Structure formats: structure tokens, C-alpha cells
């Protein structure tokens, strides 16, 4: 009888022993991206030069007073999130639409320098091409635009003059 009890108890013992549990792990990967870009948060400013001609009665009267242009500046604000970002400047001459007679001019040329992230990009208004690109890399802050080296070839024609400095920030990937 004893053999029968042992044989009958054996299947019960197998059922009573705990099964070894194993953890199962799954993984969810998360990824994303940010495009390289630049943005001006203050995209425009104005430099008002006022009367640009020298006053008086001497030989220089009526010619460009360079102190009215040189050293004048304005501040844009921007940022670039790429370590390869560049900045270019294009200076467009101050012009007056009136016709200039002999000895007069309706154009004032100048150089413009933009400074961002302690880097300068420069252009002069004597040609229609932008200056060389400067590596500004990743930055956020002021872009200081300063005028210099102004010139005009004769007496200034009366009237309003307008020009511009275009600053281009490029993420360059």
C-alpha cells in the first residue's frame, strides 16, 4: 500500500512546486529632430541721418558731411541654432531719384558691418553683390549694424535719399 501512496502523491508534488517566473522587457525608442534655422526676432531698424550735406559757404558746402553717416548704427536681434551658421551683408547705396547735373550726385556710398557673436560681416555699396559670408555659428542675441567709409562724388542733389543694409543669417547645414 505504501508504494501506491508514493506513486499517487508524486503527481500532486509536481503540481504543488512553484514555477520559476521570468520578467519580459519591451522597449519603446523615442526620437525626434530639430531643423537647422535662423530667425530675426527684431528684423528691422532705422538709421535716420537727417541733413547729410555740409552747411556753410566754403568749398565743402553742399557736399557730403561724412560725420552724418560714419559711425551710425542700429541693432537687429536674432539667433541661429546651427554650428555652421553664416551671416552675409549687402549694403545698398543711399540714392535720390532726381537726375544729377554735372558736378552733382544723387548717390552716397558707404560700407556696412554687421557684428553677431563677436564676428563681423562687411560689404560696401559700390557694387550690387553681398560681401563674403562670415561664420557666426550658433548664437542668440544682438546683430549690430554700423555704417562707415561714406563717400559722394559731388554736390548732393536736394531731396530725400534712401538705402538699406540687408543682413542674411543662414543655417548652412
What pLDDT is stored for residue 19 in this prediction? 66
pLDDT digits (tens, 9 = 90+) for 6-52: 555 555 555 555 667 999 999 999 999 999 999 999 999 999 999 99
Q: Is-contact 70 147, C-beta < 8 A? A: yes
Task: Give the least confident one: 2-11, 77-86, 114-123, 155-164.
Answer: 2-11
Q: Is-contact 109 95, C-beta < 8 A? A: no
Give the global pTM.
0.84
What pLDDT is stored for residue 5 in this prediction? 47
What pLDDT is stored for residue 16 in this prediction? 56
Q: Looking at the domain that runs over 36-43+63-173, which CATH code has it been given? A: 2.60.40
SS (H, E, C) 120-138: EEEEECCCCCCCCCEECCC
Amino acid at each position: 500500500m505504501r508504494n501506491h501512496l508514493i506513486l499517487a502523491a508524486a503527481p500532486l508534488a509536481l503540481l504543488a512546486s512553484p514555477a520559476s517566473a521570468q520578467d519580459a522587457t519591451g522597449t519603446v525608442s523615442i526620437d525626434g529632430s530639430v531643423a537647422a534655422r535662423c530667425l530675426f526676432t527684431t528684423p528691422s531698424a532705422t538709421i535716420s541721418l537727417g541733413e547729410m550735406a555740409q552747411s556753410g559757404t566754403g568749398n565743402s558746402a553742399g557736399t557730403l558731411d561724412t560725420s552724418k553717416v560714419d559711425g551710425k548704427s542700429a541693432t537687429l536681434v536674432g539667433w541661429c541654432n546651427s554650428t555652421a551658421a553664416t551671416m552675409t551683408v549687402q549694403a545698398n547705396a543711399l540714392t535720390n531719384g532726381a537726375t544729377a547735373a554735372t558736378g552733382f550726385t544723387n548717390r552716397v556710398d558707404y560700407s556696412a558691418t554687421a557684428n553677431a557673436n563677436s564676428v563681423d560681416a562687411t560689404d560696401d555699396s559700390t557694387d550690387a553683390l553681398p560681401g563674403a559670408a562670415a561664420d557666426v555659428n550658433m548664437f542668440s542675441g544682438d546683430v549690430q549694424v554700423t555704417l562707415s567709409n561714406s563717400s559722394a562724388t559731388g554736390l548732393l542733389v536736394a531731396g530725400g535719399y534712401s538705402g538699406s543694409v540687408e543682413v542674411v543669417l543662414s543655417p548652412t547645414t
